[in-house]
Amino acid sequence: MPADITIYHILLANLVILAGSCLQGVAGYGIGTLAAPLLFLISPAFIPAPLTLNAGILTILMLMRNRTALQVREVRYAIGGGLAGAALAGGTLLVITAQGFELIFGTLILLAVVLSVAGLKPRLNPRNSIIAGLASTYMGTITAVGGPPIAMIYQNEKGPMVRANLSAFFLFANVFVLATLIVSGYLGMTELWLFVATMPGVFIGFWLSAGLVNRLPFEALRPIILGVAAIAGLAALIRGLINLNLG
């Protein structure tokens, strides 16, 4: 266990991941939007690799649950864009400092919130899928919050197809992201340990989501989720600015 991580941190992280996993099990995305900013405040060590690994487990579980609704043709362009996004993010991670990471993290979290509330309704087509896939994987590599860009092009779609296609995209995106994190030095034994320690939250959250798919008022909870993300993203940005000035 890392020296600055206590059982208190692990319990809090599991609760946050449980809530995010339950949300994604219902809506198709959300573990990053809800969990990443809060995990960063608990300890930056939980971001991005441990959460990305947990999101990968959740994605596999969701794809198994919704596999009959998968439409490969609709999601393949986003996967192609995701490969380019991961490469761009890898270049970013190789050159930024720890203080720079906090600044970029906070900025991208706030950008994710803005995209979620902007009211933009791009059509689901190959061009928009490529752009959304690129933006989603770039943001996901650095912050573990890749949902908003790709969710924008599926906001007019409904039901199992959304959950299945988003899960298929996130599965491939996670592979790209994890490869990038390994090359960039952001995934090692410490991150693997934190992933294993917080994995129970994924399974419990996913299990709870099965009974809430048609009951949880996601649209009603959306402002609260985005508000939490905005506050946490702003806190990360302020902390990065303070650390930059102190450095």
Task: Supply 2's token pair.
Answer: 């890392």
Structure tokens at 188: 């090692």
Residue 2 resides in a domain: no
Give the closest residue to 139 by CA, choosing from 6, 7, 32. 32
Residue 215 lies in a domain: yes
Listed in sequence order, the residues at least 6 apart from 6 whose beta carbon sits closer than 8 Å to its beta carbon are none
The predicted pLDDT at position 247 comes to 58
132 lies in some domain: yes
Is 220 a member of any domain?
yes
Please indicate, yes or no, if residue 157 is contained in any of the structural domains: yes
Q: How many angstroms separate the Cα of 219 from the Cα of each of 23, 116, 128, 148, 197?
A: 11, 12, 24, 14, 31
Residue 203, domain extent: 7-246
Please indicate, yes or no, if residue 103 is contained in any of the structural domains.
Answer: yes
Segments in 66-188 forming alpha helices (H): 72-95, 98-117, 126-143, 147-152, 160-184
Paired tokens of 173:
């995106």
Examine residue 1 and state whether it is found in any structural domain, yes or no. no
Of 26-40, 45-59, 148-162, 213-227, give the range with the top mean pLDDT: 45-59
Give the model's pLDDT for residue 210: 84
In the numeric block, the tokens 């995990």 are attached to: 39
CA distances from 173 to 75, 85, 136, 226 (A): 11, 9, 9, 23
| Dist. CA 107–CA 159, nearest whole Å | 31
205 contacts 16 by C-beta, under 8 angstroms: no
Q: How many domains does the chain have?
A: 1
Predicted confidence (pLDDT) per residue in 127-183, tens digit: 999 999 999 999 889 988 888 888 888 877 767 777 888 888 989 999 999 999 999
Question: What's residue 217's pLDDT?
Answer: 64
